[in-house]
Structure 1
């Protein structure tokens, strides 16, 4: 099987950590680097979190790059601490990774992103798990950057106008609507999007979650630890709110995008259409609109995921937490 080259851009919270582990567990996947951005927490915490994940999985050879600390326009306003203030459930605060700053490359995440893709034209899949700020700046610095990508996978945005941090807005896009707009207007490479509603409609059971984190492996123990006090991983999470729309269950948001990149067959249904990110309005800012009637007259369509093979997805998740502890 041909080796897949991945570049992961992340605001590493708990679900990002799970997603990164999915990629690291696959023998046919080579992660060229991990670029960090603000989002679930500050960019410094994100860098620390990525170092933790790589250490737990014994993959310290993968370079980590620090990126943007706030959105393209305006100030960074923290909207919530869904995964704790540090992004990993606030259970590891007394255990800062030893020498983590030395593990962060001197090169800026955006220039590293451009360089790594330019060195491997047409071969790199870029997976974006947080706000799209690093990606937006990359195309401003190098307008040819997107055409050098093999493809782009994004976790973010909406397909039904249902939001999780505003009435109509999903977290990653709301954190930097201008960057989301730039990316979806100007990246002409094959683009695949796992929206918030899609992930919730393709949830897994809490019984599966218990089996997942109780495997006898260091990575599983790590995941069990960081989810232990996090409300988002409680069986009561979303009662009378999210459940009214989607029902209860375990939703490893970012892992859907990684899984779709690694094994396209997990996506069993998708829709091809043009999209646009709304930049105006108190309710709609940051919402992604799907243009089913071609009113936007755009030449570029994206693939918006609708249904997933949950059996294959479950297998990828289980494998992700069977990695040995080499340096934790």
Structure 2
């Protein structure tokens, strides 16, 4: 298993145990919500299932450009919701292009500073690969194309929400539920940066920002290890849109948690995939058939930390910045500081160094073996509008009809309790 020893460095400046982490924003803490922003793929649904299995209500999935263009990722989100009968969760499309970076700029940067082992959406266009099942890359003039052959989970029949963008939806929801909405980002940070710039209250009104990405001290292993080791330690999520990463990570979120090196701690293994597939459903089959045993559980680690912060066994409180100098070999990478030595305009973040791997794997396995249902999702919403909004009479009954009577309740009639 490739774990944190591949980096060969453990943060020591202000390292703290999980019990001494700064308290998260609880200004309106009766209910937790989350918006999950990601470059969704055929096997990228596990963070959604981990969140769905918790007490956090998922407000929506939003799509970002990173491994592929956002339209393709949005359709993967739709398709993977469908196979679990979870289409009650809406999908909002994010920005297609980074703020500044382009395919041409990225390729020019590589000519000077070397080629990345994984280039994400900025990999060379390959029509043959796309026809055989690869998600689309490059060809930015046709970035909204959707490659049907890549949908191992089946092509979606549903559509994305058409009334607003991902950034607009995020802004709307933090105003609706101030201090309660976690923003989870496991792709490029373009949508989050746009929300920050569109509404100067957005970041402060959120509960927190959780980021998958932000690797430290990985250069030696990139030079001396295998190409795969270099791959799993490269920061493609931030490098696709470095300027957005800097905007998001320096914004006034009450709390920012970085799952960088720690995301490499738990690697997918065949034994674990076999264990997951002991319970067979559409999700476990996709994981068993297609997840593979090459990469760690990157996005899943960040989602699990969001759901249960006590999963972190060691965290460093540091000041963090993103290199946005295009001429730098570290363009799109992070640098951390102690308070006494930090430059202006950086902020404190929680950098997670390690997690309880046993608890994490248990959480992941249960989430995919026994996924949540739309009944549970609608039931959460019904409780909210009948209880927390203090509706009465016909309005309360209407809410029950609209929310609670949707989705199949798998429980026997004798065990169903009253809602509202």
- Fold match (TM-score > 0.5): yes
- Looking at structure 2, the residues matched to 55 and 183 of structure 1 have their Cα atoms a distance apart, in angstroms, of 31
Q: Deviations over 1:201-244 (max 9, x none)?
A: 343544113312453222211323443xxxxx24xx4xxxxxxx
Rounded Cα–Cα distance in structure 2 between residues aligned with 1:314 and 1:93: 24
* Structure (1 or 2) with the larger CA radius of gyration: 2
- Mapped pair 1:39 → 2:60: no
Match of 1:209 among 243, 267, 273: 273
Distance 1:85 1:282, change over 3 A: farther
Distance in 2, matches of 1:224 and 1:104, equals 31
Question: TM-score by structure 1 length?
Answer: 0.83
Figure out how many residues of one structure are paired with residues of the other and give that number.
304
Structure 1 residues 1-328: aligned runs within 5 Å: 3-13=31-41, 16-26=44-54, 28-76=55-103, 78-80=121-123, 85-86=134-135, 92=151, 95-98=154-157, 100=158, 102-162=159-219, 169-195=234-260, 197-203=261-267, 205-227=269-291, 233-234=292-293, 237=294, 251-280=296-325, 281-292=327-338, 294-297=340-343, 300-323=347-370
User: What CA distance in whole angstroms lies between the structure 1 residues aligned with 2:206 and 2:178?
Assistant: 6
Cα distance in 2 for partners of 1:261, 1:166 equals: 25
Provide structure 2 residue ranges, at least 5 long, that are not aligned to the other structure: 1-28, 107-120, 125-129, 137-146, 223-228, 375-406, 408-420
Cα separation, 1, equivalents of 2:33 and 2:172: 14
Instruction: Report the CA distance shift for 1:93/1:223 in structure 2 as closer, same or farther (over 3 A).
Output: closer
- In the alignment, structure 1 segments of 5+ residues that lack a partner are 228-232, 238-249
Separation (CA, whole Å) in 2 of partners of 1:314 and 1:188? 29
Flag the structure with higher helix content: 2
Cα distance in 1 for partners of 2:80, 2:153 equals: 16
Deviations 1:103-131 (A, max 9, x none): 43331111011001110001111111100
Residue 86 of structure 1, CA deviation: 2.4
1:179 Cα deviation from its structure 2 partner: 0.5
Taking structure 1 as reference, are residues 91 and 29 closer, same or farther at Cα in structure 2, changes over 3 Å only? Answer: same
CA distance in 2, matches of 1:140, 1:61: 30
CA separation of 1:120/1:297 partners in 2, compared to 1, >3 Å: closer, same or farther?
Answer: same
State the shift of 1:33 in Å.
1.0
Q: What is the Cα deviation at residue 318 of structure 1? A: 0.6
Q: CA RMSD in A?
A: 3.1
